[in-house]
Amino acid sequence: MWSSSSSWAEVVVVSVAILQYTLATRTTITPNYISIEVGAESIAFTCVSYLEPIDAIQSHWMEWKKNTATIVQNDTVLVDEAKYSVVGSSTISAITITQNLTVHNIELSDSGNYSCNLESTSQFFVKSSSSAGLSVSALKQTTDVTKLTNEMDNKKTILTPNYISIEEGAESITFTCVSYLEPIDAIQIHWMEWKMNTVTIVQNDIVLVDEAKYSVAGSSNISAITIIQNLTVHNIQVSDSGIYSCNLESTSQFFSKSSSSAELSVSTLKQTTDAMELVNEKDNKKTIIYFTAGGIILVLTFLGCIVIAYKIRSNDSATDNNNICSDDMVNERRISFYSNIDTNVTGMNTNAVTEMTEKTEPTYQKYLNIGLNDDSSNMVNTL
């Protein structure tokens, strides 16, 4: 058994590696890609980390980076506080950590790769990270007065972001629609209408279809020159992919209607049956349960074998010691017994000695059973 210890060690190393991956903290950022035009008010990324209990009780915090520059650490904005803000504590002892990073007053320079990283000073903490892209495009420029006028009319309503790419299974995404009204329009009856492709899903602030799928925040029928309304799509599925549009509507023939649209692209989760490919993935997002169970069983089996082997060796050692003690005691008794016999046979004739020798074995056995404390000379005299 002990000759196979090296192979057991290899099994344990593999098992621990698998367990480290399958039990690893997982971090996901959503959306994973946003495309937006310069001038938008803000965009937000949501980072969610799922911790194992052993990681949850250790010191940890969220770190946000734009490209390679750290912008937020330990819930504190390190750079321009007017540009970035965070909501949600990342230092709490919980198995789920959620934090939002908002980028304000969108500019071309805001384009880049944004990442959230769950960090710790503990060497036993399993760190994890996830990243997303933000692409900011410039407003279209034109010198044609007619085109410029038409473009300004179309920009009376702006939907942001204008493109979102995300994986299925995300909790939600949100579009923000902003309409700028002329004073003459602000006093007329108006409302916001939301469509997915050609299907009207919200009208006059009321969700017309699945209320578990869609929700709106903000009133669109107030008399104001700026109307803001958010549409949130919940429990993201591939079927949620499509063109979403917000349209400012009115029954008045004098009302200047306007609209804007954006695209939502939902991709399926990556599937793989290659264990090595799974382990080598950069983000620990997907966990295969049977790897966890298999790794635990292998480790427990190895530990069990060590305990059993230790007990067997301990029992064998104890048995050997007992045998040695028993042999020593028998020899001592034998010497004591025959010493007494030798003393008693002095002066006996040959026939007497032979007769006593024939009786020696059963008497000797009786002597052993009684113990060393018994007087062997008395037993011999009884022969």
> Are 76 and 200 contained in the same domain?
no
Number of domains in the chain: 3
On whether residue 8 sits in a domain, the answer given is no
The pLDDT value recorded for residue 323 is 53
Per-residue pLDDT of 167-203, as tens digits, reads 888 888 999 999 888 888 888 888 999 999 999 999 9
φ, ψ of residue 255 to 5 degrees: the values are -80, 135
Query: How far, CA to CA in Å, does 307 sit from each of 7, 317, 321?
Result: 17, 15, 21
Residue 38 pLDDT: 86
pLDDT digits (tens, 9 = 90+) for 53-107: 888 888 888 999 999 999 999 999 999 999 999 999 988 888 888 999 999 999 9
- Residues 69 and 113 reside in one and the same domain: yes
Cβ atoms 92, 75 nearer than 8 A: no
CB-based contacts of 335, cutoff 8 Å, min separation 6 = none
| Type of residue numbered 32 | N
Q: Is residue 289 part of a domain?
A: no
Cβ-contact 71, 134 below 8 angstroms: no
- If asked whether residues 54 and 87 sit together in one domain, one would say yes
Residue with tokens 């949850």: 56
> Which pLDDT score is estimated for 211?
92
User: Does one domain contain both 241 and 339?
Assistant: no
Are 335 and 211 contained in the same domain? Answer: no
- Indicate if 265 and 145 belong to the same structural domain: yes
pLDDT score at 10: 57
Residue 304 and residue 271 share a domain? no
Low-confidence ranges of the chain (pLDDT < 70): 1-25, 139-155, 270-295, 315-383
Q: What integer pLDDT is reported at residue 338 of this predicted model?
A: 53
Q: Does any domain span residue 3?
A: no
Structure tokens at 348: 């006996």
Q: Is 12 a member of any domain?
A: no
CA-to-CA dists, residue 339 to 129, 187, 335, 380, angstroms: 86, 130, 6, 11
**pLDDT at residue 288 in the model:** 38
b/e per residue 154-186 (b: at least 16 CB within 10 A): eebbbbbbbbbbbbeebeebbbbbbbbbeeebe
**128 and 29 share a domain?**
yes
Closest CA to 102 of 155, 40, 50, 51: 40
CATH code (residue 29): 2.60.40.10
**Cα atoms found within 13 Å of the Cα of residue 278, Cβ hemisphere only:** 20
Distance CA 124, CA 354 (A): 81
216 lies in which domain range? 141-283
- According to DSSP, the β-strands at 163-167 and 258-267 are parallel
Residue ending a domain, choose from 283, 316, 334: 283
Are residues 152 and 263 both part of a single domain?
Answer: yes
Flag whether 124 is in a domain.
yes
**Is the Cβ–Cβ distance between 240 and 247 less than 8 Å?**
no
| Last residue of one domain, picked from the residues 124, 139, 154 | 139
Same domain, 145 and 184: yes
pLDDT at residue 364 in the model = 53
CA triplet 135, 84, 118: central angle to 5 degrees? 85
Q: Which amino acid is at 70?
A: T
Q: Are residues 260 and 196 in the same domain?
A: yes
Tally of CB atoms within 10 A around 95: 13
In terms of domains, do 156 and 270 share one? yes
Q: Is residue 186 in a domain?
A: yes
Position 116 in a domain: yes
Strand arrangement of the beta sheet that strand 157-160 belongs to = 157-160, 172-180, 226-234, 214-217
Domain boundary among 139, 156, 172: 139
Tell me if 277 is assigned to some domain.
Answer: yes
What is the spatial distance between Cα 179 and Cα 155, in angstroms, rounded to a whole number?
Answer: 8
